[in-house]
Structure 1
Amino acid sequence: MKQAILDDEEVVVRTPDEFSRMPRDYKKMLISQIMINTEGELSGADDYALVFLPLAPSAEERQVCVERATEEYDHYKIGKRILADIGVDTTHMETQKFEERTLFADQRMHTCTTWAERGIYSYIGEETALIMIKEFAHSSYKPWAEAVRTIIQDEKIHIAHGARVCRNLSQTAEGRAELQYALDRLWPMFVGLFGSPHSERSKQAVRYGLRQTTNGEALDQWRERVGPRVLNLGLTVPNC
């Protein structure tokens, strides 16, 4: 007998076995959420290893790119394990190229050609991921909530390294111009990662305890968080 989750219930799912007995829309929503995050971690790892590493201006910066890539691959493996426990195989992702991954139909992330874009990617762009991962740490699906807590600290370090790159470049007018161009080019893609601000699906995710905010609320949080960073670098926040 299939039963719905009543509006006054708090949702807590502790094991894969309990997950198997949840309503179909809960299961679809959780799988989609973890799949998107897991694919994003793998793509992020490839960005550091294949896109940013060749741009690095020194051996130290190349080492940082390698370290960040390793962490992102570890994050992918965390998602892969959680999904495997509920019967979802992600190994097909490991042979895909950037353009074949469904998450990043907009390929601007993978065509970064300057060190300024590498800085903006981490300092401004990776904040989108951190906002969502912090929400997942409170997920009603407890194996996922526990797993992502190890990711959060790594993501904070990624953002801090992006901050260092951006601050170094912002010391000159030429560097600020490079940063502004990078920000203007990548900003619409960052905004798009949150999905439609009016999504009914995101409201349902909040109801099920899979999210803490709707798409629109998460986007507002991100704007509030990164806006001061942009201004502090001497840049202008894009209007879109």
Structure 2
Amino acid sequence: MSEEMTLDAYLAAGGILSNPTNVPPRYRAELMKLMATFVDSELAGSAGFADIVNEAPGLKERIAAARIVLEKAANADRVLAVMSEFSVDADRYATHHPWTARLARDADIGATRGDHDMRLAVFNYPLQGWTDAVVMNLLMGRAVAVQLAEFSLVSYQPLAETFRAIAPIEAHHAELAEEGLRKLLETGDGTKLQMSVDYWWPRVGQSFGVGQSQRFETLRAYGLRRTSNAELRERWTGETRAKLTDLGLQVP
């Protein structure tokens, strides 16, 4: 960065930061919010899926479910390591929130976050058995893939590198979910699967947030976002609709 260029101009021009000491306050606040949302969602997702492991229909499925629980917690730990560079107490963080807390199944909070942590709204809803968990993991897994493609390009280099390392792990979770879903379809469980798709589709879609906002423009200027929420949701919708159609399921 040249001496004549302001930090905001540097970021708006595509510059990157790599050290907490160079991060301005507003940028730091938005960066921390982004990281906390990911960490809290991973920890809440891991905690919720842990309750489903013993409902898996076979040993292979239990191993896959347990792997997802472990790797989501490990992914949260990777981002927490970046947060700890900003004086976040990572050890206390993991036990500070009720990660298993869920709302009633018929609650409708839209994209609103809870009061207890920064998890995406979708992780406030409970899973109902193995079939429901597989569907949710497929839909959300594909949403996470779209979101991580965006976040892997953030202007804070240590976080971008961390997200790039996490992306293939999360992509594999969606692959495991698809494998599990195909196996369930072989058992003739299509009606129950479609009911779960109908329930989770709008809730996962809301995880992309509102279509456009002033905050997005700030994030784009800081190099923390590139693509609008509406465009990301559209990408997820198109790709996931094609996958569900291939499986013989319908988008509500």
Correspondence for 1:124: 139
> Normalising to structure 1: TM-score of the pair?
0.87
3-state DSSP of counterpart to 1:61: helix
Tell me if the contact between 1:108 and 1:186 (Cα under 8 Å) persists in the aligned partners: no
Equivalent residue runs for 1:12-161 within 5 Å: 12-19=16-23, 22=24, 24-50=25-51, 52-90=52-90, 91-97=92-98, 98-99=100-101, 100-105=116-121, 109=125, 111-161=126-176
Query: 5+ unaligned residues in a row in structure 1: which ranges?
Result: none
3-state DSSP of counterpart to 2:170: helix
> What is the CA-CA distance between 1:155 and the residue it aligns to?
0.7
> Normalising to structure 2: TM-score of the pair?
0.84
CA distance, structure 2, for counterparts of residue 107 and residue 30 of structure 1 = 21
3-state DSSP of counterpart to 1:170: helix
> What is the CA-CA distance between 1:73 and the residue it aligns to?
1.1
3-state DSSP of counterpart to 1:5: helix
Q: Would you tell me which structure has more helix in proportion to its own residues?
A: 1
Q: Which has the higher contact order (CA 8 A, sep 6+)?
A: 2
Report the more deviating stretch, 7-16 or 98-107: 98-107
CA RMSD of aligned residues (A): 2.0
3-state DSSP of counterpart to 2:250: coil
Cα distance change, pair 225–4 in 1 and its aligned pair in 2 (3 A): same
Cα distance change, pair 195–5 in 1 and its aligned pair in 2 (3 A): same
Aligned residues: 230
Correspondence for 1:5: 8
CA distance, structure 1, for counterparts of residue 94 and residue 118 of structure 2 = 10
Correspondence for 2:206: 192
For residues 2-25 of structure 1, the C-alpha deviation after alignment (integer angstroms, 9 at most, x for no partner) is: x66138632311212222xx2x32
Tell me if the contact between 1:203 and 1:214 (Cα under 8 Å) persists in the aligned partners: no
> What is the CA-CA distance between 1:95 and the residue it aligns to?
4.0
